[in-house]
Structure 1
Amino acid sequence: MDESDRSSCANQARRQLSGNDRQHQVKAGHLDSFDSTTGLLDRKTFDARLTENFAAAQSENTPLGLIFVDVDRFKKVNDEQGHQKGDQILAEIARRLSACAKGKAMVYRYGGEELVIVLQNHDLNETVVFAERCRVALEREPMDGLSITASFGVSVFPNIASSCEHLIETADKAMYDAKNRGRNLVRYFGEPPPEPTAKTRVPARKPPEAGKLTEDQLREMRQLYFRHRVIECPNDGAYMRAFERNEVGKATTTVIAHCPQCGLQVEF
């Protein structure tokens, strides 16, 4: 990715602000500002917008989701590849997250290798599922030949947090919990650990490979998902996190399911 590509990524991320967003800025009495590296809205704008979003959630009695995103081992990328490469990686991460968030959420550059995502009218389960979709979007394809992942921490008003500050604090703690349990994970604040003494996501036994699941197992998982929106991992019985992907030219919806305990990921 050269300088023009990085600029293109930043511009694409910046376009997440629609005309309605700009009208909102004028009505609210402030102008949003952008981060030059990623094209995302910056920390100052995040602080102002979150205050408004939280007040609206309180008055309308609707949930508000917050996701903290921290790029895994980003210091190593900067140290070994240089800061220019690090900036290119951040711009590509911003592009992918903005693509996931289009029409659903707002993505901000919080500082350093940290980003935040705000989802209005999203409850805990919906926010966790969205975070999992973002995690997969970053992990799926290398960036400039590098395998890049991120750790995600989730908090939600009113299920978990009772104020703006508490929302930020709990999402941040959940993100560090994801880091401590092996990185490249989604964790919500207060989520029970996979095992009582586990600090990483190492499973008690090797999970089955996706390709070794039988057609009957995959068919049953699909039926359970569309009937009850709940899938149990065939390895350990844990509830799997799932999101849907609609592909052009395909009549059916593809479901991607991930087990937060053993790491199994399947598509059906």
Structure 2
Amino acid sequence: MDARPTWLCPDLAARERLLDMDERLRRPRVAALGLLGACVLAALPYLGWRPLVLLLCAVLVVVVVGRVARRLPAPEYGLALSWAFSQIMIATAIATTGGIRSFVLSWLVVPLVTLPARFGARGVVAGVGFAGVLVAAIALLVPVSEPLPLWYATTAMLATLFSVAILLLALMRSDVDHRTEAVVDGLTGMLNRRALEHRLEELRAQAAVSGQSIAAIAADIDHFKRINDEHGHARGDAVLAEVAQRLRGGLRAFDLAYRLGGEEFLVLLPGADVREATALADELRASVGTAPIDELDVTVSFGVAATGGGAFNGAELLAAADAALYAAKAGGRDTVVTA
């Protein structure tokens, strides 16, 4: 895959997002096309087999071009060609079922639904323009007729609504997945550093109003490099996941735990002072060391810091907790040190 930018994908991230979204939409697209295909079958007594042949051609081209496009240096153009062909096939179906008065005119909207998530703003502009040209061509070049019975108008519109709903639900699920992946660590299920930045800003605003104390607990798994070196990264990952689970199990509902990277964790405690945070850190230390993890004895060191209420500076709080954690590591590990 070529890393050079193109008009449709100005950077590599846009291309990777396009390929990811195209894969996520593969099955919903098949379902939507299947629904439209059922409507085509219902029209066979009035139109013959030609519309069904067109639909099968469209499906075949979309599938083949979609697979071949992923092997191209710029796959976005192959996928865009596949999308355009599906629109042309729908336009052909419109032309053969009454022209601009066709009951299936609304089907042109179905492929448009996927454009923003796959191709971005430029793709939307190009796609809408292309669909507009098809509509204008049908209106100017195709004689108006009414080969389908009136009941088909309702059937065609329902097919449009349900097809759009199928694609929108898939896009909604994909959006939720992307947002979750952006702020949640995949291995431990904890929030990540990006989520921490947002939370610190929220706490700053809350502290300015409430004046409450905010505590931070920094944690680090002792001798984690040794676990990876001697027992392998798979067991190291198992240790990380289980430590994260034990840490979360000891927190209140409104306390938030973060994995900052590697074997480092952070817990934010709104409303807690140094004494409360230190007591909780000691409970967390004991919960991790209570039982072996994957037949390994694992311990964690903790550093605790808290504000005195009033103005809140997240960077200073985290730096104080991190300094206390460093003292805990230097003082023998498996202990809690308060800033």
Task: Indicate conservation of the 8 Å contact 1:38/1:94, yes or no.
Answer: yes
Partner of 1:82: 232
- Which structure has the larger Rg over C-alpha atoms? 2
1:77-116 equivalent positions in 2, closer than 5 A: 77-116=227-266
1:146-157 equivalent positions in 2, closer than 5 A: 146-157=296-307
Q: How far is the alpha carbon of 1:31 from its aligned partner?
A: 9.2
Task: Indicate conservation of the 8 Å contact 2:304/2:324, yes or no.
Answer: yes
Task: Indicate conservation of the 8 Å contact 1:178/1:185, yes or no.
Answer: yes
Q: Which of the numbers 179, 190, 204 marks the counterpart of 1:40?
A: 190
Q: Cα 1:74–1:30, aligned 2, differ >3 Å: closer, same or farther?
A: closer
Please report the TM-score for the alignment, with normalisation by the length of structure 1: 0.57
Report the secondary structure of 2:212's partner residue.
coil
Please report the TM-score for the alignment, with normalisation by the length of structure 2: 0.45
Q: Percent of counterpart pairs with the same letter?
A: 37
Partner of 1:228: none
Partner of 1:142: 292
Task: Indicate conservation of the 8 Å contact 2:207/2:312, yes or no.
Answer: no
- Whole-angstrom distance in 2 between the partners of 1:31 and 1:112: 17
Q: How far is the alpha carbon of 1:55 from its aligned partner?
A: 2.4
Residue 62 (structure 1) aligned with residue 212 (structure 2): yes
Q: How far is the alpha carbon of 1:57 from its aligned partner?
A: 2.0
Amino acid at match of 2:314: C
- Whole-angstrom distance in 2 between the partners of 1:101 and 1:38: 15
- Runs of 4+ displaced beyond 6 Å: 29-32
| Gap runs ≥5 in structure 2 | 1-175
Q: Cα 1:121–1:91, aligned 2, differ >3 Å: closer, same or farther?
A: same
| Gap runs ≥5 in structure 1 | 1-25, 190-268
Q: Which of the numbers 46, 49, 59 marks the counterpart of 2:199?
A: 49
Task: Indicate conservation of the 8 Å contact 2:204/2:312, yes or no.
Answer: no
Partner of 2:95: none
Amino acid at match of 2:259: R
Q: How far is the alpha carbon of 1:124 from its aligned partner?
A: 0.8
Partner of 2:163: none
Partner of 1:72: 222
Report the secondary structure of 1:41's partner residue.
coil
Partner of 1:255: none
- Whole-angstrom distance in 1 between the partners of 2:182 and 2:252: 18
Amino acid at match of 2:332: G
Number of corresponding residues: 162
1:16-35 equivalent positions in 2, closer than 5 A: 33-35=183-185
Q: Cα 1:31–1:61, aligned 2, differ >3 Å: closer, same or farther?
A: farther
Partner of 2:323: 173
- Whole-angstrom distance in 2 between the partners of 1:73 and 1:174: 18
Task: Indicate conservation of the 8 Å contact 1:54/1:64, yes or no.
Answer: no
Task: Indicate conservation of the 8 Å contact 1:57/1:121, yes or no.
Answer: no
Stretch moving more, 48-57 or 31-40: 31-40
Q: Cα 1:162–1:49, aligned 2, differ >3 Å: closer, same or farther?
A: closer
Q: Cα 1:155–1:120, aligned 2, differ >3 Å: closer, same or farther?
A: same
- Whole-angstrom distance in 1 between the partners of 2:224 and 2:265: 13
Q: Cα 1:88–1:67, aligned 2, differ >3 Å: closer, same or farther?
A: same
1:213-252 equivalent positions in 2, closer than 5 A: none
Q: Cα 1:73–1:106, aligned 2, differ >3 Å: closer, same or farther?
A: same
RMSD: 2.3
Task: Indicate conservation of the 8 Å contact 1:150/1:184, yes or no.
Answer: yes
Q: Cα 1:89–1:95, aligned 2, differ >3 Å: closer, same or farther?
A: same
Q: How far is the alpha carbon of 1:32 from its aligned partner?
A: 6.3
- Whole-angstrom distance in 2 between the partners of 1:52 and 1:104: 13
Relative to its length, the structure with more helix (as a share) is 2
- Whole-angstrom distance in 2 between the partners of 1:109 and 1:166: 19
Report the secondary structure of 2:260's partner residue.
strand
Relative to its length, the structure with more strand (as a share) is 1
Q: Cα 1:50–1:30, aligned 2, differ >3 Å: closer, same or farther?
A: farther
